[in-house]
Amino acid sequence: MSTDKLIEESRTYLMNTYNRFPVVFVRGRGMKLYDSDGKEYIDFLGGIAVNNLGHCHPKVVVALQKQAQKLIHVSNYFHIEPQIKLGKMLCQNSFADQVFFCNSGAEANEAAIKLARKYAKENMGEDKYEIITALNSFHGRTMATITATGQEKFQKAFTPLLPGFKYVPFGDVGAVAAAITDKTCAVMMEPIQAEGGVNMPPEDYFRELKALLEDRGLLLILDEVQTGMGRTGKLFAYEHYGIEPDIMTLAKALGGGMPIGAMLATKKVAESFSPGDHASTFGGNPLACAAGIASLEAILEDGWLLSSCQRMGDYFRKGLADLQKKYPFIKDIRGKGLIIGVELEFDAGDIVKEALREGYIINYTMQKVLRFVPPLIVTDEEIDGLLDTLERIFDKRYSA
């Protein structure tokens, strides 16, 4: 089928929920994607922070092939071998003692909200259900997670929202302290706000927040859906802050491209869930978990990928800082490892379109922030190629 016909049928048969570019990707390998007309692109979006190992990583492909021949799905009424193995690996490499598997970031956050509320009812009192989240946060698109998301634009068409959520400015411990009431049970935050514009917290924020919550006996839920699995140069972003959460959520890169989410917790908190409290038909599916195991093994191998992520992130930010000297309309460059935001003085949409025409997949968020979340395997040559392209695009805009 021709590309035009595919796009026409896409518009006919699929609900109009995405602003899609007129491109159909049919093949990928490492940093590269190929469209239905054979054009090659370098991918600095990585399926929105999903393809941390690049496209079709050979270890993930082989794991999927092997598992598909053995067992694709079985019910959670039974113990599932790849699920046990992935759960053990995640616990052994994090603060957590136990894991609940689901299929997406929103579902992982739903599970976290339910666990926090159940734990609070059992251990803090009947009336402890309020969760404090941050303005400009993003936690997903289900009803509970759009409520947790501190951005009205995702909420206003779908009111009434869920009761029991409060919002505070990100990075302000005093604001959290002031928002705590007799009903508060937890605070839920992203370690770095991703969709909200790649916003970094002040250096000591999470240490001070954790101390406050410990003092008040409240839970810390970290949403590492976008920052987890090596994105910031550590396996989990909380490791940069010298603290540990009580609950953490993962998805995106967890399955090496396969849909899988996870909610991890300390034993003390996890014990509040008992059979019947929460479930998912597909959660921890053998195929998704096999991909997750292969993917986590590849990320951890020799620590090579994590140190390269830090180095490439620094290299990328330095190149962007050089561009900033030439183009004063670049207001700010932020991020850690390979989650990078570049705030412009104007809407970044045209830059993204122009880059796509030039064969680079980039993205923007909050209108004015170019966001780069490439596979962690990105090289300095590929970063140089994108920086040259951005320079050409910026020059055009500057001289226009």
Contacts with ligand PLP, residue ranges (CB under 6 A): 104-106, 109, 138-140, 190, 194-195, 223, 225-226, 251
- Coil, strand or helix at 257: coil
**DSSP letter for each residue of 189-224:** E-SSBSTTT-BPPPTTHHHHHHHHHHHHT-EEEEE-
Gap between the terminal Cα atoms of the chain: 39
Q: Which is nearer to ligand PLP, 116 or 390 (CB)?
A: 116
CB of 236 to ligand PLP, least distance (A): 13
**DSSP letter for each residue of 88-134:** HHHHHTSS-SEEEEESSHHHHHHHHHHHHHHHHHHHT-TT--EEEEE
Number of H helices, E strands in the chain: 14, 15
Q: Which is nearer to ligand PLP, 105 or 319 (CB)?
A: 105
Nearest to ligand PLP by Cβ — which residue? 105
Could you tell me which of 131, 108, 107 has the C-alpha nearest to residue 119? 131
CB of 19 to ligand PLP, least distance (A): 15
Q: Could you identify the residue written with the tokens 């970031």?
A: 105
Helix axes 58-70, 286-300, angle to 10 degrees: 150
Q: Which is nearer to ligand PLP, 28 or 140 (CB)?
A: 140
What is the token pair recorded at 180?
A: 């705590």
Could you tell me which of 291, 184, 185 has the C-alpha nearest to residue 229? 291
φ/ψ (deg, to 5) at 41: -130, 150
Whether 247 contacts 210, CB under 8 Å? no
CB of 145 to ligand PLP, least distance (A): 7
CB of 154 to ligand PLP, least distance (A): 11
CB of 197 to ligand PLP, least distance (A): 12
Q: How many CA atoms lie within 13 A of 191 on its CB side?
A: 29
Q: Which is nearer to ligand PLP, 228 or 319 (CB)?
A: 228
Whether 246 contacts 221, CB under 8 Å? yes
What is the token pair recorded at 391?
A: 């320079």
Q: Which is nearer to ligand PLP, 319 or 335 (CB)?
A: 335
Tell me how far apart the alpha carbons of residues 276 and 380 are, in angstroms, rounded to a whole number: 50
Question: Which amino acid, 11?
Answer: R
Q: Which is nearer to ligand PLP, 226 or 285 (CB)?
A: 226
Which DSSP symbol is given to 255? G
Q: Which is nearer to ligand PLP, 123 or 280 (CB)?
A: 280
CB of 262 to ligand PLP, least distance (A): 11
CB of 107 to ligand PLP, least distance (A): 7
CB of 336 to ligand PLP, least distance (A): 14
Q: Which is nearer to ligand PLP, 55 or 252 (CB)?
A: 252
Q: Which is nearer to ligand PLP, 223 or 246 (CB)?
A: 223
Q: Which is nearer to ligand PLP, 138 or 360 (CB)?
A: 138
CB of 2 to ligand PLP, least distance (A): 31
CB of 285 to ligand PLP, least distance (A): 15
**DSSP letter for each residue of 267-298:** HHHHTT--TTS---SSTT-HHHHHHHHHHHHH
